[in-house]
Structure 1
Amino acid sequence: MRFSSLRFVATCIAMCTAASAFAADSYPAKPVKVIVPWTAGQATDAAARAVAERLGSSMKQPFIIDNRAGAGGGIGSDAVAKSPPDGYTLLAGSTGSVTVNPLLSKTNYDADSFAPAGLIATVPYVLITAESFPAKDAKALVALLQANPGKYSFASSGNGSIGHLISELFVSKIGAKASHIPYKGSSGAIVDVIAGRVDFMFDSVTSVLPHVKSGKVRAYALSSAKRSTSLPDIAPLATATDLRDFDLYAWIGLMAPKGTAEPVLNALNRGIQDAVMSKLVKDQYLTLGIETVEASTPAEMSKLIAVERVRLGSLIKASNIKAD
């Protein structure tokens, strides 16, 4: 009897293994939906579209973008979390929707609701002011903020946005005080920074790139430890100031619902690595202010998210940040 039970278990394991192998070999056998939980034109959307086009070509099935914006990325993310774990509904996940949103709001999902397939991009943020602002470089700006606690203000695209978190970390690390002015999106915030109604802000290279190139804003430094290929002359804060360990940026990656078979995730990962290393995607990223990433496995992406969740959770708590 015991032998029969063991044989039954072994048979089940063999069948599951064979099914997983078959799923990987035949994946994708139909079009794949990629849900972007933001509006079209935003950095996550732009990166996902570039990679989806390449994935469709290399994996011989369409990867179709489906924008489902709202609730700080929560609507689209929740839809993917509730989808069948078969690899045919993916999330274009990002720092904001996957890591920050569940830390700030009551959501039906969290980072553990998804199985990472691989990073597709990173997006550094840039410290900017109006061109007329008195500080001419990053060190002078730091000194000005330190010498005038509470005098200056910073904008963001909303409470709990990545730009807000980076700004709070920056102000905290230099030992200064500044007032936060949240906006509903980047556009209005940048307009008011250019006009001098708000003193400074951190926003994505994607958002500020045209304003930097036109000379409407002064760009001081990057939030990431690495330089931007789109703004190669702008130094990281880590080298432009005394903040040697400053390194905070947004990531973008493709994720499947929790429970998706590992062979399917690995097949996706191979397609992602091919896509992000292709000249087509690199050229598109360059014009958008988005950075390509080194080869990233699902396990490496999981580790990044776990570390980030602790780090940003601590920052949110220390800065007493609340959702809008």
Structure 2
Amino acid sequence: MAASRRIKLLAGVLSGSLVLAAFLASQARAETPESYPSKPVRIVVPLPPGGATDSMARMLAERLASASGQPFIVENRPGASGAIGADAVARAKPDGYTLMVSIGSTVSLVPFTTKVPYKPDAFLPISELARTPQVMYANPNIPAKDLPSLVKWAKANPGKLSFASYSVGTQGHFAGIRLNQLAGIDMLHVAYKGSAPAMQDLLGGQVQVMFDALLPAMNYVKSGKLLALATAGTERSPLAPNVPTFRELGYPEMEQFNGNFGLYAPAGLAPALAGRLEALARRAVNSPEYLSKVKELGLMEPETTQIASFSKRVREDQAKWSSFVNRIGYKPEM
């Protein structure tokens, strides 16, 4: 009798397990691109909190959550020129639940300047989020108030100026290297783990120069805590009409140091799901609230929110930067 009851009990447990497994399988099959996302989505930022990239990610996450009804959670994973966070995304399952918001150099430049564990094609570019020119900032305690006088002083005092970048092998790093070459000066490079700590040392005078986004640093310029010497934009920014372009000052080659922010997914994301994510991102990026905040940050609107055109841009940038790195004979610092 006892054995019979145990058999019946075991049969019931097995039956229940099969029903549960069937239910879970049906739920997994029920997920379609139209229902994405059906759970929280993680957005990795490969840089510390407080910088422009972090601000962009949080702006986007808010709009994506509003459009989809699911939380988009920002996770900062800084280090190694963005490679730590980027590698976490590259290794993630390409199911749309791990994404990355990053400056373009993480994908287009860093793979050619540092030993990263991911390949340049490890990501699917989804949408450009904003564009930004690099601005050359200086601590006001230096004995120069504009770029020509800074170059003159630096030539007379080689090795006495240092410039900060938000990480090794990034656009801010290469902007300093390139200006050294073009102007015949010798600014020393100091790398940080993100723009926020680099900016703090620039304000404190531990470094004298930095190449970074227009805002929030321009607020320090208005208060007299920093100087803005030049911008890499093709024209002066309406938010900083008194800041000349590098071209105006005789350095047109510096225009290549214009950056962008983008949304990326791991390569291998199913086309239908990628299309759904593209549509959500386009809706978020084109919302009046988002575009208003982009302008408040001193950024320019994205040129494309389409996977095809953004992917083409990223591949072109990769080719450009690979050629540039080889041409100047740069040797990785790490």
What's the TM-score bracket when you normalise by the shorter of the two chains? Answer: 0.7 to 0.9
Aligned to 1:10: none
Say whether the 8 Å CA contact 2:218–2:228 is kept in structure 1. Answer: no
Is the Cα contact below 8 Å between 2:304 and 2:310 reproduced in 1? no
Matched, 1:28 2:37: yes
Task: Give the TM-score normalised by structure 1.
Answer: 0.80
Instruction: Evaluate the alpha carbon distance shift between residue 300 and residue 227 of structure 1 in structure 2; reply closer, same or farther with a 3 A threshold.
Output: farther
The answer for the alignment partner of 2:188 in structure 1 is 180
Q: Distance in 2 between matches of 1:101 and 1:215?
A: 33
Which of 21, 30, 41 is the matching residue for 2:50? 41
Superposed, 1:84-233 pairs within 5 Å as 84-142=93-151, 148=156, 150=158, 153-157=161-165, 158-174=167-183, 176-185=184-193, 186=195, 189-190=198-199, 193=202, 198-206=207-215, 208-228=217-237, 230-233=239-242
Aligned partners of 2:235, 2:97: CA distance in 1, in Å?
34
1:187-235 superposed Cα distances (whole Å, 9 cap, x missing partner): 5654565566654332232452232121112212112325445434433
Q: In terms of mean alpha carbon deviation, does 39-48 or 275-284 score higher?
A: 275-284
Cα distance change of structure 1 residues 34 and 140 upon mapping to structure 2, 3 Å threshold: same
Query: Which AA in structure 1 matches 2:309?
Result: E
Residue of structure 2 equivalent to 1:322:
332
Per-residue CA shift, 1:139-192, capped at 9, x if unaligned?
5545665x6483652312343232111122233234x12132314344565456
Number of residue pairs the alignment of both structures matches = 302
Q: Is the 8 A contact 2:158 2:187 kept in 1?
A: yes
**2:271 matched to 1:262?**
yes
The offset of 1:46, in angstroms, is 0.9
- Cα distance 1:169–1:212, how it changes in 2: closer, same or farther (>3 A)? same
Amino acid at match of 1:154: S
Distance 1:87 1:269, change over 3 A: same
CA–CA distance in structure 2, aligned partners of residues 27 and 209 of structure 1? 39
8 Å CA contact retained: 1:155, 1:189: no
Shifted more, 114-123 versus 230-239: the winner is 230-239
Task: For 2:177 and 2:112, locate their aligned partners in 1 and report how far apart those are by CA, in whole Å.
Answer: 16
The residue identity in structure 1 corresponding to 2:318 is: R
**Of the two, which has the highest radius of gyration?**
2
Rounded to whole Å, the distance in 2 between the matches of 1:239 and 1:150 is 25
Q: Deviations over 1:291-320 (max 9, x none)?
A: 331333212222222222232233334152
Cα distance change on mapping 1:233 and 1:265 into 2, 3 Å: farther
Partners in 2 of 1:43 and 1:304 — Cα distance?
Answer: 21
Q: Is the contact between residue 230 and residue 287 of structure 1 (CA under 8 Å) also seen in structure 2? A: no
| Aligned counterpart, 1:14 | none
The Cα offsets for residues 114-144 of structure 1, whole Å up to 9 and x where unpaired, read as 1111111223221122335454444554566
CA drift of 1:281 comes to: 1.7
| Partner Cα distance (1:197, 1:35) in 2 | 30
Identity, % of aligned pairs? Answer: 32
Paired with 2:87 and 2:233, the residues of 1 have a C-alpha distance of: 29
- The answer to whether the 8 A contact 1:32-1:88 is kept is yes
Say if 1:214 and 1:312 are closer, same or farther in 2 by CA, change over 3 A: same
Query: In structure 1, what is the equivalent of residue 9 of structure 2?
Result: none
Q: Deviations over 1:269-307 (max 9, x none)?
A: 222222223232233333434333133321222222222
Distance 1:196 1:83 in 2: 40
